[in-house]
């Protein structure tokens, strides 16, 4: 488990306790009471976040934990995905935090899978963006991979993406690209263009990737023809599940979909408690 994930878990438990205790569980449940907690899907979807949920349970002292599926598995409703045995108080303290991770990350994986299915039969890939929940980026990008998608850069230092505001500030698309190339010659550089004219302007610089922002599928097809395989192309902006296949068929290499992480609906997963021996 990464240090960042450990910090998220600790923060979540700290928020729940807020310097005090679980007054409901501690008032109604004896300290030596044990139970079995079954995590069960209420709706079909793709699972992600099992390892984090297990780490939540371990953090609270629940060591008897078993995963019944794997991250990336697509399961129907009423599937037992995880079970844990131990102190009832600790299981209930872990319940909301573990479910928050599981439902949110599984929701991202499930949504990603629907996008991947929408463009089946093409060579195009679905890719995420940096539109992630603060602190959750590594987990959310892992959930995208569990859903069959690909990841864009993790941080601003991983690769360069020259966008419209950089272009304005630098005085032109090619000028902005060249400044980054000189400053960071070993880094991958992607350049955003809004028009086919900008595409032609930046092509002589041989960027690693060109982002076609808010272009139509026909414009993307034209861009593919003009590039003729010299540079990878990524389409972004205004793409929906209904239009994804048309964009993919244009020949672009990637579809950048911010909704994977910022608009995914949580997968419905519940915790069913059974009394222990």
Is residue 163 annotated as a catalytic residue, yes or no?
yes
| Domain co-membership, 154 together with 107 | no
Examine the domain organization and report whether 87 and 176 are in the same domain: no
| Same domain, residue pair 149 and 252 | yes
Which pLDDT belongs to residue 277?
Answer: 52
Q: What is the pLDDT along the chain (277 residues), one digit of tens a residue?
A: 688 899 999 999 999 999 899 999 999 999 999 999 999 999 999 999 999 999 999 999 999 999 999 999 999 999 999 999 999 999 999 999 999 999 999 999 999 999 999 999 999 999 999 999 999 999 999 999 999 999 999 999 999 999 989 988 988 888 888 899 999 999 999 999 999 999 999 999 899 999 999 999 999 999 999 999 999 999 999 999 999 999 999 999 999 999 999 999 999 999 999 986 5
**Residue 276: its pLDDT value, please?**
61
**Catalytic one among 140, 146, 213, 253?**
213
91 and 9, same structural domain?
Answer: yes
Same-domain pairing of 193 and 219: yes
101 and 44, same domain (yes or no): yes
Q: Are residues 89 and 146 in the same domain?
A: no
Known catalytic residue at 131 = yes
19: containing domain: 3-116+264-275
* 117, 130, 131, 153: the active-site residue: 131
Task: Check 74, 96, 178, 187 and give the catalytic one.
Answer: 96
Q: Is 192 a catalytic residue?
A: yes
Question: 130, 145, 153, 163: which is the annotated catalytic residue?
Answer: 163
The 3-state secondary structure of the chain reads CCHHHHHHHHHHHHHHHCCCCCHHHHHHCCCCCEEEEEEEECCCEECCCHHHHHHHHHHCCCCEEEECCCCCCEECCCCEEEEEEEEHHHHHHHHHHHHHHHHHHHHHHHHHHHHHHHCCCCCCEEECCCCCCCCCHHHHHHHHHHCCCECCCCCCCCCEEECHHHHHHHCCHHHHHHHHHHHCCCCCEEEEECCHHHHHHHHHHCCCEEEEECCCHHHHHHHHHHHCCCCEEEEECCCCCCCHHHHHHCCCCEEECCHHHHCCCCCCEEEEEEECC
Out of 140, 192, 234, 253, the active site residue is 192
Quote the CA–CA distance of 271 and 56 in Å, as a whole number.
Answer: 14
Whether residues 132 and 253 fall in one domain: yes
Q: Model-level pTM greater than 0.85? A: yes
126 and 87, same domain (yes or no): no
Q: Give tens-digit pLDDT for 179-192.
A: 999 999 999 999 99
Give the count of domains, the chain: 2
Count of residues making up the chain = 277
CATH number of the domain to which 199 belongs: 3.20.20.70
Quick one: 174 and 254 in the same domain? yes
Based on the fold, state whether residues 182 and 155 are members of the same structural domain: yes
CATH (domain of 73): 3.90.1170.20
Whether residue 96 lies in the annotated active site? yes
Are residue 191 and residue 164 in the same domain, yes or no? yes
141 included as an active-site residue: no
């Amino acid at each position: 488990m990464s240090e960042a994930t450990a910090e998220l878990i600790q923060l979540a438990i700290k928020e729940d306790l807020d310097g005090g205790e679980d007054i409901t569980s501690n008032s109604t449940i004896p300290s030596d009471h044990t139970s079995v907690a079954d995590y069960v899907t209420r709706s079909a979807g793709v699972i992600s976040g099992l390892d984090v949920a297990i780490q939540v349970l371990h953090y609270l002292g629940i060591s008897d934990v078993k995963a019944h599926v794997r991250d990336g598995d697509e399961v129907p409703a009423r599937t037992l995905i995880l079970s844990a045995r131990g102190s009832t108080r600790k299981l209930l303290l872990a319940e909301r935090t573990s479910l928050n991770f599981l439902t949110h990350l599984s929701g991202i994986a499930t949504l990603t899978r629907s996008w991947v299915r929408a463009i089946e039969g093409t060579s195009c890939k679905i890719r995420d963006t940096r539109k992630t929940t603060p602190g959750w980026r590594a987990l959310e990008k892992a959930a995208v991979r569990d859903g069959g998608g690909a990841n864009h850069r993790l941080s601003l230092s991983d690769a360069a993406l020259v966008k419209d505001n950089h272009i304005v500030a630098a005085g032109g698309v090619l000028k902005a690209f060249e400044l980054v190339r000189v400053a960071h010659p070993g880094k991958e550089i992607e350049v955003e263009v809004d028009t086919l004219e900008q595409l032609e302007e930046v092509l002589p610089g041989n960027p690693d990737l060109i982002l076609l922002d808010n272009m139509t599928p026909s414009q993307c097809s034209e861009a593919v023809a003009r590039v003729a395989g010299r540079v990878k192309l990524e389409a972004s902006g205004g793409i929906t599940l209904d239009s994804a296949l048309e964009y993919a068929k244009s020949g672009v290499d990637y579809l950048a979909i911010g909704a994977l992480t910022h608009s995914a609906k949580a997968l419905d997963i519940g915790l069913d408690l059974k009394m222990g021996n």
